[in-house]
Chain A
Amino acid sequence: MTNYAIEMRGITKTFGSVVANKDVNLNVKEGEILALLGENGSGKTTLMNMLSGIYQPDCGEILMGGKPVSIHSPEDSKKLGVGMVHQHFKLVDVFTAADNIWLGKEDGGQLLQKNRFAEIGEMCQKFGFDIDPTKKVHNMAVSEKQTLEIIKVLYYGAKIIILDEPTAVLTVQETKKLFDVLRQMKADGHAVIIITHKLNEVLEISDRVAILRKGEYITTVETAETSEQELTELMVGRKIDLNIDRPEVEKSLPLLEIRNLQIQNDEGAIAIDKVNFYIRGGEILGVAGIAGCGQKELCEAIAGLRPIIDGQMIHKGDNIVGLTPKEIIAKGISMSFIPEDRLGMGLAPSLSITDNMILKNYGDTKGILVDRKIGRRDAVEVIENLNVITPSSETPVRRLSGGNVQKILLGREIKAAPNVLVTAYPVRGLDINSSYAIYDIINKQKQAGVGVLFVGEDLDVMMALCDKIMVLCHGELMGIVHAHKVTKEQLGLMMTGALNLTNRYEDKPAGIAKDTLFAQHIEDDGKVIK
């Protein structure tokens, strides 16, 4: 009989009338990486939360090293050697890396020992992590925070490490690094459970894959003997087409033109530097770049949430620089930005779906009262059209799973019938089915003649979905290329600044349309608008 590091047998967990997990069996050996696969809301996180002591199973048993254990709290699970790296980091921002680790140390005593930096630094080196123990968490990049979380659980002596969607917020390079770490942990005899939606990652890193569907345990397969197609079918329960459509649509005149745009970030540094681009109706323009190279600032500037330093933004020939967010919404420009924590901007998490539906248009009705009838009707429509899984339209948004939250956000933006749709990371952290549903929605908008600016992470997706891709590097434009002509390598070079295509054609600088409405605008006015 194999001795599993951890084994879950017949686990069932219900919340009220919702069955989150039903008769789930799961096991991991020492020195093995198990991928846990399932769509959003299929109960992966719930299952893992039972291992980390946040929830208790209604029935079923958990065995460790062959002996049954009961885990009542995160403390219990820590003592048993289970460490979980949550999707939302649990770190104290104003503390240093070392202090964050020291904080939860069992025998650390009441004092911060002087040698803590050295001790933790040493331990980082031992595991091959590159992190400065004296660095404050709020100065860290997302990937550093995640590394810190992993160091933390290792430092506490975890034998079983659970990672909940660790790659959702990482770039390709960072993901590579993370996988190296995971492989080393595996070599050291740790059992690793990784939750992820990205099938290519599952195939790359895991030894076996356990699949959940709608809370039910489907099967566990050997990674070496499976394929992306098979995993998708097991996960979704039916055959699914993995190709992304790029419908041909007749393009219209430029809807949004950006010239010489300069924007500062919160720290006052230049985030976007003299960028030119334009979006036509019926076109998807992708924005590629390493995380934090001005995407957020660009989106905020277009939505009127961030003042610009210099440059012009012309919408259908009208200047939109200096307009309030409300006036820009009224022009038909919609912006939806899915931040790393998913809820930061665009939704009010404690309010109901209905109340979130009316966020942008509650002021349009007459009188002093909020008309929730319209909101409720919209909510019901979005829930139906986009297959949102929710008990009702009055459920607070934060109770929904990630994919459903994003569908609500995008659904509302599309309801408003925009002519320019700016959408950043719309599939961040989404499973394959929801992601394809979102691509579908975006393609429908394109076919309806909407100009779409798609800020994305996954280059494969962008190359399949977008018509053109513009690449940013440290806020500078590296060029705008046709998505079907470019290679992934080229994009990678552009993203790192090694290749600059902005001046490839002398007669046609990148990002300036031939049939621009911009010039017409200047002529009409007789002067250049500031």
Chain B
Amino acid sequence: MKKQSSFHMVKREGVKWQQIAMSYLIAIVVAIALGGVLLSVQNVNPFDYYKDMFSLGVVGNKFAYKQVEAFIKLFTPLLLTSVALSLAFKMRFWNIGGEGQFIIGALGAGSVAYLLGETMPTAVVLLLMALVGAVLGGLYGAVVAILKVKHGTNETLLTLMMNYLALYLLKFFGETSGDWNFFLAKDSNRPLFATFPDNAKMITLPTPFGSFSLNLSLVIVVLLCVGVWWYLKYTKQGYEISVVGDSPNSAKYAGMKVSKIVIRTIFLSAALIGLAGAFYASSAGTLSTSMTNDVGWTGIIVAWLAKLNTIGIIVTSLLITVLQHGCSVASSSYATVDANFADLLQGMILFSVLTADFFTRFKLVRNSKQEVAK
């Protein structure tokens, strides 16, 4: 006889949202406490470390605004990518090619910046960069959608593989010296991505808070999020997406052109991710092989944690960015703590939140002796 386990899972019913929020909070606290134990082992005062982390390096810093600007640079691409991914996921199209679409968008924007940046006014260059980035990113995604609807290929595999295509294309441009390669800095002996001309750098808006200036891309991205929310909820195309996602057969039955809807939506999703790449490149003022900061992956987690709800995505991506940025700030002031601790802590928090999510839907029940005996 097989050994009986003493617990089993039972589905939970009627959980209120307050309870869900509470369980997430507890999960975060538990993960942080665990992290605190690890810090203590390394002879670091966990309270000081966490203070640094959650203040995001803003408190007691002469250059606090720099931290806020850095925060925005992390936050903006993640938010836009997550929202864009949710468009595809709503339609049950597993776009895990966010990384690749982001890179292609950035490459497109970069090409515009290097080739035209010096000859045209800022507004035109930036607009062109955004447009080229979005269109290239969109096409990069649409190719997969076309293959899927025409030949029934698996989008998960294709988008995954195309991530590596994009990454190595970027590496190729970044590491191959040659007169033709306009991506590289002219004054460097070893291959290095050149800095964008000033005309191709993202406009920052002056604010009343001293030297702090607001990155225009954040404003645009927040507006885009509201736009996507509205698009999904109120437009005919948004309605089509939810029908196709829910029941492709019913969509066909109702006379919808399912292939067209899939291709259009994936183009839109990938275009927004390409746009995120373009914005990131113009904010950073250069290209780099690590510029995606894994948004294509993190975005998937954000979209699902938020259950594809646009407002939820804004909140979730904000929290994840606090985690990422806070960890990097804190690790920079504690030389003894390895930088990888930040990643470890992020992982622990995500893991415990996902565990909490599981427990909001299921509960464990102890098997009573009497029933087991039966």
Contacts and interface: CB of A to CB of B under 8 A. Distances in A.
A370 B371 contact: no
Interface string A241-270: 000000000000000000000000000000
Contacts of B368: 70
B238 A73 contact: no
A369 interface: yes
Contact of B235 (A69, A76, A368): A368
Contacts of A370: 234-236, 238-239
Contacts of A79: 371-372, 374
Question: Could you say which of B13, B235, B254, B368 has the most chain A C-beta atoms within 10 Å of its C-beta?
Answer: B254
Interface residues of B, number: 31
B236 A325 contact: no
A392 interface: no
Interface in A331-346: 335, 343-346
Contact of A349 (B13, B14, B235, B247): B247
Given A75-B8, A80-B371, A348-B246, A360 B255 contact: yes
A362 interface: yes
B9 interface: yes
Contacts of A350: 242, 246
A266 to B, nearest CB: 12
Contact of B252 (A16, A305, A343): A305
B228 to A, nearest CB: 14
A288 B23 CA distance: 56
Interface string A36-51: 0000000000000000
B250 A325 contact: no
A363 interface: yes
Contact of A80 (B249, B250, B374): B374
B10 interface: yes
B364 to A, nearest CB: 10
Contacts of A303: 253
Contact of A369 (B236, B252, B374): B236
B304 to A, nearest CB: 16
A324 interface: yes
A73 B236 CA distance: 42
B277 to A, nearest CB: 27
B15 interface: no
A525 interface: no
A363 B236 contact: yes
Interface string A317-361: 000000011100100000100000001111111110001001110
B286 to A, nearest CB: 39
A347 B251 CA distance: 9
Interface in B202-257: 234-239, 242-243, 246-247, 249-255
Contacts of A324: 255
A355 B243 CA distance: 9
Interface in A67-86: 69-70, 72-73, 75-76, 79-80
A106 interface: yes
B335 interface: no
A69 B238 contact: no
24 contacts: A16-B14, A54-B11, A55-B13, A73-B365, A75-B8, A325-B253, A325-B255, A344-B249, A345-B247, A346-B250, A348-B243, A348-B246, A348-B250, A348-B251, A351-B242, A351-B243, A351-B246, A359-B243, A359-B254, A362-B239, A363-B236, A368-B235, A369-B234, A370-B238
The 3 nearest A-B residue pairs measured at CB: A326-B255, A348-B246, A325-B255
Interface of B: 1-2, 8-11, 13-14, 234-239, 242-243, 246-247, 249-255, 365, 367-368, 371-372, 374
Given A72-B10, A344-B247, 16 more contacts: A55-B13, A72-B365, A73-B10, A305-B253, A324-B255, A325-B253, A326-B255, A346-B253, A347-B250, A348-B246, A349-B247, A355-B243, A358-B239, A359-B243, A369-B235, A370-B234
